Structure 1
Amino acid sequence: MSRALLTLVQWLSPAFPTGAFAYSHGLEWAIAEGEVQDAAGVEQWVADILRFGSGRTDAILLAHALKGHDLEALSDLARALAPSAERLRETEEQGAAFAATTAALTGRALPPRPLPLAIGQAAAALGRPVTEVLELTLHAFAANLVSAAVRFVPLGQTEGQAILSRLHPLIEEIAREAAEAPIEAIGSAAVRGDLAAMRHETQQVRIFKT
Structure 2
Amino acid sequence: MSTTAQPLPAASLLQLIWLASPALPVGGFSYSEGLESGVDRAGVATENIASDWLSDQLQLSLARGDLAVIAGAIPAWRNGDLVKIKALNDWVLQTRETSELRAQAEQMGRSLLEWLRNHHSISDAQLDACAQLPPTYPVTFALAASPLIAGVPDCLTAYAFGWAENMMQAALKSVPLGQSAGQRILARLATEIPVAIATAMALQDHERQAFSPMLAILSSQHETQYSRLFRS
After TM superposition, give the deviation of residue 169 of structure 1 in Å.
2.5
Correspondence 1:36-185 to 2 at 5 A: 36-68=44-76, 69=81, 70-106=84-120, 108-109=123-124, 110=127, 111-112=130-131, 113-185=135-207
After TM superposition, give the deviation of residue 59 of structure 1 in Å.
0.3
The answer for unaligned runs of 5 or more in structure 2 is 1-8
Aligned partners of 1:25 and 1:197 also within 8 Å:
yes
Q: Is 1:195 aligned to residue 210 of structure 2?
A: no
Amino acid corresponding to residue 51 of structure 2 in structure 1: E
Runs of 4+ deviating beyond 6 Å = none
After TM superposition, give the deviation of residue 158 of structure 1 in Å.
1.4
| Residue-by-residue CA offset, 1:52-103 (whole Å, 9 max, x unaligned) | 1144300000000011152111111110010111100011101111111022
Q: What is the alpha-carbon distance in structure 2 between the residues aligned to residue 133 and residue 100 of structure 1?
A: 20
Aligned partners of 2:69 and 2:138 also within 8 Å:
yes
After TM superposition, give the deviation of residue 137 of structure 1 in Å.
0.6
Q: What is the alpha-carbon distance in structure 1 between the residues aligned to residue 220 and residue 149 of structure 2?
A: 37
The answer for unaligned runs of 5 or more in structure 1 is none
After TM superposition, give the deviation of residue 119 of structure 1 in Å.
0.5
Q: Percent identity?
A: 28
Matched length: 210
Compute the TM-score of the two structures, normalised by the length of structure 1: 0.94
Q: Which has the higher Rg, Structure 1 or Structure 2?
A: 2
Partner in structure 2 of residue 31 of structure 1: 39
Aligned partners of 2:63 and 2:197 also within 8 Å:
no
Q: What is the alpha-carbon distance in structure 2 between the residues aligned to residue 15 and residue 169 of structure 1?
A: 23
Amino acid corresponding to residue 74 of structure 1 in structure 2: L
Any idea what SS the aligned residue of 2:199 has? Answer: helix
